[in-house]
């Protein structure tokens, strides 16, 4: 195999395309998996697959969508393989990044009863999000956790911007119905 200039140009191309997306891709993968070790594995697998197949991407505009698709597939594959070893808290959407919804120090400035109510409501919201279909959950994660624009979400979801916005509106209505049934009002 020739590792000369072709390998070097592949490395430069890969670095040029991946470095700006590095942290955003990792956050996306972590949002899906909610387990640091598995997210690290999925991230590494994503980078390896992307590196091996980078010459298949014809347009650099499509690279992000392509890369995030690999990341999503790798995340779901690892979850399927490791589902028995992961706690529900780690695989689900929670109201905190790394501590599975643990209360922060700031929460102790309010009365205990209020803290318990807030925690219960957050758990209900997290469960409602977890009960969404995977594509619906992805839109919520991309919009609120990864804080992506509608344009970026539409590229990742392989749909138009208006379709992504409309899906989001339907998902929010669905979540509101679920939360209203649980007497959670969002005030």
Q: What percent of the chain has pLDDT over 70?
A: 74
Contacts of 64-67 with C-beta under 8 Å, sequence gap 24+, read: 64/21, 64/152, 64/155, 64/156, 65/155, 65/156, 65/158, 67/17, 67/18, 67/21, 67/25
pLDDT tens-digit readout, 16-53: 888 888 888 998 898 888 788 889 999 999 999 998 88
Read off the tokens for 127.
């469960």
What domains are there in the chain, each with its CATH number?
1-92 (1.10.1740.10), 102-187 (1.10.10.10)
Its pTM surpasses 0.85: no
Cα separation of 99 and 90, whole Å? 9
Count the neighbouring beta carbons within 10 Å of the beta carbon of residue 3. Answer: 8
Read off the tokens for 40.
């690290």
From first to last of its 187 residues, the chain has per-residue pLDDT tens of 334 456 667 788 888 888 888 888 998 898 888 788 889 999 999 999 998 888 887 777 788 888 998 998 898 888 777 754 443 333 344 444 443 344 444 444 566 666 667 777 777 787 888 888 888 888 888 888 777 789 888 888 888 999 999 999 999 999 888 888 877 665 5
């Amino acid at each position: 195999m020739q590792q000369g200039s072709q390998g070097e140009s592949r490395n430069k191309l890969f670095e040029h395309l991946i470095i700006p997306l590095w942290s955003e891709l990792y956050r996306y993968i972590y949002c899906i998996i909610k387990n640091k070790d598995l997210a690290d594995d999925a991230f590494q697998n994503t980078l390896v697959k992307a590196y091996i197949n980078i010459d298949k991407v014809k347009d650099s505009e499509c690279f992000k969508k392509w890369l995030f698709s690999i990341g999503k597939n790798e995340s779901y594959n690892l979850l399927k393989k490791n589902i028995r070893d992961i706690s529900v808290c780690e695989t689900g959407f929670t109201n905190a990044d790394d501590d599975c919804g643990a209360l922060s120090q700031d929460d102790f400035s309010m009365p205990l009863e209020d803290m318990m109510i807030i925690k219960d409501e957050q758990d209900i919201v997290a469960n409602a999000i977890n009960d969404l279909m995977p594509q619906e959950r992805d839109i919520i994660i991309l919009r609120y956790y990864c804080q992506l624009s509608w344009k970026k979400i539409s590229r990742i979801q392989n749909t138009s911007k208006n379709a992504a916005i409309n899906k989001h509106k339907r998902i929010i209505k669905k979540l509101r119905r679920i939360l209203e049934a649980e007497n959670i009002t969002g005030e």
